[in-house]
Amino acid sequence: MPVIGDDLGINPTITFVGGNKMRIRMGASPVVTVPGAYATGTHVSGSPSGINLKDTLSTIFSTYNVVANPAATAVDVGGTVGDTSSTVGPTMISAIYSDADSSFTLNIGDQLILTFSDNIVANAVPSTAFFLPVTGDFFGSVAPAISQTSGNQLTMTFTTVPILKITGPYVAGTHASGSPSGINLLTTTASIVDTAGRAARPSATAIDIGGSDTGSQNLAPMLTGAIYQDVDSSASVNAGDVLDLSFSANVTHGHFDVSDALPINTIFMPVVGDIIDFNSVVSRVDGNKVRITLLGTTNRFRVSGVFSAAVTTESSPSGINLLSASSGLRDLAGRPIVPALAPVDITSGTPNFNDAPGTTATTSPDPNAGGAAAVPPPPGGAKACILSRNVAADGFFSILRAFRDGLLSSSIGRFLTGLYYSL
């Protein structure tokens, strides 16, 4: 190594890697200056490094048994992969969010893999070197750890939960809170240079942060179950009770207001007269479960019994499904939740939001199932409705109930009823 002071370190190793290439793995405390181009005759300590063979080397020979010879002059120690002909610094060309724990949610320990247009040399890169253009996006309350993990890649490992929206492509100029996330360098930064010493620079526009398709789940998350909880122990479906939906994979609402994650008008209730009041809202998304808190006064479905797709007449045991795929909730790979192949039964129990996907929550006695362990159901059936069934003997109310049930049996009727109660 012709530059004064340059050294490959203590006990470097040399291995043959195939073809015409050999690899030198540096030993402890190497001294090599990679940025810049080696110039023949420029050997002052700290100058860009060069390397050559000291002499003819009989331990390296061609397939024709011709021994290796030194180059006419030392060759530059620089990068050999990427845009080495460029006269400007590298730019970021991709950003992939890696779901390290395959939870399909943003968690501590997840990583952001940043790829550049050329091989780089990173030196104590701060998170402040990067720019998140979407309002409200941030890397977490504690700065992530950033390290170089390959020739042209940096890995950002989150030490606190970040706020990013992975689903959907970033669109330049669309920076309102909740928009798909992008990332860029804030400005030219000397903490990231290419192997010629040129500082990395911002891309023309921010780069979309895409999601990696981790885990064995290759299908969109599908509705798999529904558990009702009688919060007020009233033995009827009332405002304040909750309905927890479970899916085949963990889901996230990204940057959406959680109450907008699953519009109630995307819910399908197959039994005639069943309805979830339009005032009800999604109040929690955790793992593979989504909680709907029932609000308003028109919530009506039957928990007791087991739903059958062949029996959907009024007052039959209730089922639930989605009308169509809903983009408000997605897995981390960007796939929207989709309906079950058939409506799922609504059961009674106490859901556990820490259950892993595919596990069954602990159940509790159905308040509408009867028996010594259950609260007796209200007279006339197990459903809550606009008018209590304990006035069934009154002829006027029987006629009014019939009108109500006819109204709620149609989608337009349910819409108008929900609109009325939202006023």
b/e per residue, 37-52, with b = 16+ CB within 10 A? ebeeeebeeebbbbbe
CB of 272 within 8 A of CB of 250? Answer: no
**Looking at residue 22, what is its pLDDT?**
75
Q: Residue 392, class by beta-carbon neighbours within 10 Å (0-12 exposed, 13-18 middle, 19+ buried)?
A: middle
Which three-class secondary structure state does DSSP give residue 391? helix
Alpha-carbon distance values, 248 to 159, 219, 227, 303, 360 (Å)? 28, 9, 15, 22, 12
CB-CB contact of 23 with 80 (8 Å): no
The pLDDT tens digits of the residues spanning 260-284 come to 777 888 899 999 999 999 899 888 8
Confidence of residue 213 (pLDDT cuts 50, 70, 90): very low
- Is 50 exceeded by the pLDDT of residue 120? yes
pLDDT for position 302: 94
At 337, the pLDDT band (50, 70, 90 cuts) reads confident
> Rounded to two decimals, what is the model's pTM?
0.40
State the Rg of the chain over Cα.
32
CA 10 to chain centre: 44
Helices 395-408, 411-422: axis angle to 10 degrees equals 110
Give the separation between CA 385 and CA 378, rounded to whole angstroms.
Answer: 11
- Asked whether the beta carbons of 293 and 257 are under 8 A apart, the reply is no
Maximum average pLDDT range among 59-73, 322-336, 350-364: 322-336
State the pLDDT confidence band at 390, using cuts at 50, 70 and 90.
very low
Number of H helices, E strands in the chain: 2, 25
Residues 313-338: what's their mean pLDDT? 84
* Neighbouring residues of 286: CB distance < 8 A, sequence distance ≥ 6: 353, 354
Give residues with Cβ within 8 angstroms of 397, minimum separation 6. Answer: 387, 391
For the cut 50, the answer to whether the pLDDT of residue 379 exceeds it is no
Query: Which is more confidently placed, 68 or 200?
Result: 200
Residue 415: predicted pLDDT: 59
What is the average pLDDT across 414-419?
Answer: 57
pLDDT in the model for residue 72: 61
The answer to whether residue 64 scores a pLDDT higher than 80 is no
Query: In the predicted model, what is the mean pLDDT of residues 240-250?
Result: 87
Query: What's the confidence (pLDDT) of residue 349?
Result: 80
The overall average pLDDT reported for the chain is 76
pLDDT tops 90 at residue 154 = yes
256: exposed, middle or buried (Cβ count in 10 Å: 0-12, 13-18, 19+): buried
Alpha-carbon distance 47 to 4, whole Å? 8
Q: Provide the 3-class DSSP secondary structure of residue 402.
A: helix
Which residue would you say has higher pLDDT here, 386 or 226? 226
Lowest-confidence segment of 15-19, 48-52, 265-269, 388-392 by average pLDDT? 388-392
Q: What is the pLDDT of residue 9?
A: 87
For residue 397, which phi and psi values (nearest 5 degrees)? -70, -30
